Structure 1
Amino acid sequence: MRFTSLAFFSGLLTVASAHFALQYPEPRGIRVADDEVNFCDGYPTAASNRSQFPLSGGFVSIESHHQGYTVGVIVSTAQNPSSFDNFTTAVDYFTYEQTGTLCFPINLNATGVSGIKDGANVTIQIVYNGGDGNLYQCADLTLNSTLTSVTNATCANATDTATSTSTSASATASTTNNSAQTFSGFSLAALLSVAGVAMSLL
């Protein structure tokens, strides 16, 4: 599914007070809180030193500064994606209530996106909403089918113990892959309606 239904949010002017930080994979640039409302956190050009990332069985880790938020991941196989039209949904949007660290699985090989394969250069963009507007951060990756573990990266949630981490991640994957798209408790149709009114007032 092309990432066009939510793309208009990037144009809305909003002051965001609830921020997040992409912990893994390595973000495109140093996080600038004031620029998170912009495409790829204000970094328009893909990084030249892409991170190696598992083709299957990867994960994303973020640090949320807000309790109660919606998050999802979109992916692009363009070498230097410049707009939301270049992206497709990779992890359906889901809500999470705990502040602090959140780790969730991402299996890019299972997305069915054309161009996702061993050795491909891709960009993922994390889309986060803590209730006051969308925030964005990107990571530029090279997919590796033989990569099964990640050095110096851990997958744990703020409320996880070491023994429950993998179970929690699996449960999250099951939930996100089978859920209807919602955004902060509202249906997408309702948000489109509200955003249409907002845009007419600009």
Structure 2
Amino acid sequence: MRSTTFVAAVAALAAPALGHFTLNYPTSRGSNHETQTTAPCGGLDSVVLPLTEFNMDGSPIATTTTHSDSGITYKFCPADADCTTNDGFSYTIMSTFFEVGAGDFCIPSVAIPESIYSGNTSEPLNGTLQVIYYSDDGDLYNCADISISMDGNTTSSLCVNATGVYTAEWAGSLSASEAEVDGDSTSSSTSAAASATSSSSSSASSAAASSTAHSGNGSSGSNSTVSTASAASSTSAASSASSSTASSAAAAVRIAAPSVFVGAAVFALAFLA
């Protein structure tokens, strides 16, 4: 009996370490944990109705992840394209940035680049939002079917940020620097400022303490400009080489931790068997 109880406890503790991410808002196509590494929508290729109303000038995008460090990209596939292939998601809504910390994460207002809807604000544009997480488990995918218009939602109660979760510039790998960087340090077309976001309330108005503005050219592989202003962050203000090195080392430890824990759990199960 004691062995059975211990095995159940170990399995329960190991489960979060093996988790991926969920798309909380806009409404995702469904649960896809087992197939989340399958592009373009984590194994869920069929449109799910009703469409979530997304505002051209900005709606929230909210996720929850068990990964401590991940890169994130938002893309779009118009309804008249083939959204069952990754090539269909040819429009970049927001280029890749770095999320540091596990838990709830939300950008309160993600605007749609004007070139995606060709300046036509009189008719809704239907299509699919693709959220990609670049994690230590590989590339992970979730999709939401949306209708973009000037009448779309601008807030959501699901837009919350966990304490200690913040963004940083993406450097092409999970060891990206967590220190604050200047917008022109990478290229003339892409800038990303590190921010610290905290959740003092579960309401969208609390999450709006971080305000995000961006613009993109809407073409395949295009870059967007991301500027995230945090309410306060003295920790991410450090940009010296020593703090960058320390941050990378910390990220490596966080990434390795789930694997070590799972290994220990598997060993314990084998011993008891």
Taking structure 2 as the reference length, the TM-score comes to: 0.52
| TM-fit CA distance, 1:114 | 4.5
Alpha carbons 1:90, 1:111 under 8 Å: kept: no
**Residues of 1 paired with 2:98 and 2:114: CA distance?**
20
Alpha carbons 2:127, 2:145 under 8 Å: kept: yes
Could you tell me which of 118, 137, 142 is aligned with 1:137? 142
5+ long unaligned stretches in structure 2: 1-16, 164-197, 216-223, 228-247, 249-273
Alpha carbons 1:18, 1:132 under 8 Å: kept: no
For the structure 1 residues 148 and 178, does the alpha-carbon distance in structure 2 shift closer, same or farther, using more than 3 Å as the test? Answer: closer
Alpha carbons 2:53, 2:151 under 8 Å: kept: no
Equivalent position SS for 1:167: coil
**Residues of 2 paired with 1:157 and 1:48: CA distance?**
27
Q: Which residue pairs with 1:103 in the alignment?
A: 106
**Residues of 2 paired with 1:48 and 1:139: CA distance?**
10
5+ long unaligned stretches in structure 1: 1-15, 180-184, 186-202
Q: Which residue pairs with 1:33 in the alignment?
A: 33
Q: Percent identity?
A: 24
Task: Quote the RMSD (CA, aligned, Å).
Answer: 2.7
Could you tell me which of 97, 117, 126 is aligned with 1:121? 126
Q: Which residue pairs with 1:85 in the alignment?
A: 87
Q: Which residue pairs with 1:155 in the alignment?
A: 159
How many positions carry a matched residue from both structures?
160
For the structure 1 residues 45 and 25, does the alpha-carbon distance in structure 2 shift closer, same or farther, using more than 3 Å as the test? Answer: same
Further displaced range: 72-81 or 35-44: 72-81
Return the letter of the residue paired with 2:110. Answer: I
Alpha carbons 2:32, 2:44 under 8 Å: kept: no
**Residues of 1 paired with 2:50 and 2:34: CA distance?**
25
| TM-fit CA distance, 1:150 | 4.0
| Alignment of structure 1 residues 1-202 onto 2, 5 Å | 17-28=18-29, 30-39=30-39, 40-79=41-80, 81-87=83-89, 88-104=91-107, 105-108=109-112, 110-114=113-117, 117=121, 118-150=123-155, 153-159=157-163, 160=198, 161-162=200-201, 165-170=207-212, 177-178=225-226
Alpha carbons 1:46, 1:81 under 8 Å: kept: no
Further displaced range: 84-93 or 42-51: 42-51
| TM-fit CA distance, 1:77 | 0.9
Equivalent position SS for 2:42: helix
Return the letter of the residue paired with 2:131. Answer: I
Return the letter of the residue paired with 2:132. Answer: V
**Residues of 2 paired with 1:59 and 1:126: CA distance?**
13
| TM-fit CA distance, 1:23 | 0.5
1:101-159 Cα distance to aligned partner (Å, 9 max, x none) = 00013101x252255754110110000022231000000011130235446x3322102
Structure 1 residue runs of 4 or more that deviate by more than 6 Å after TM superposition = none
For the structure 1 residues 158 and 169, does the alpha-carbon distance in structure 2 shift closer, same or farther, using more than 3 Å as the test? Answer: farther
Return the letter of the residue paired with 2:212. Answer: S
Alpha carbons 1:77, 1:120 under 8 Å: kept: yes
**Residues of 1 paired with 2:145 and 2:84: CA distance?**
13
Return the letter of the residue paired with 2:31. Answer: R
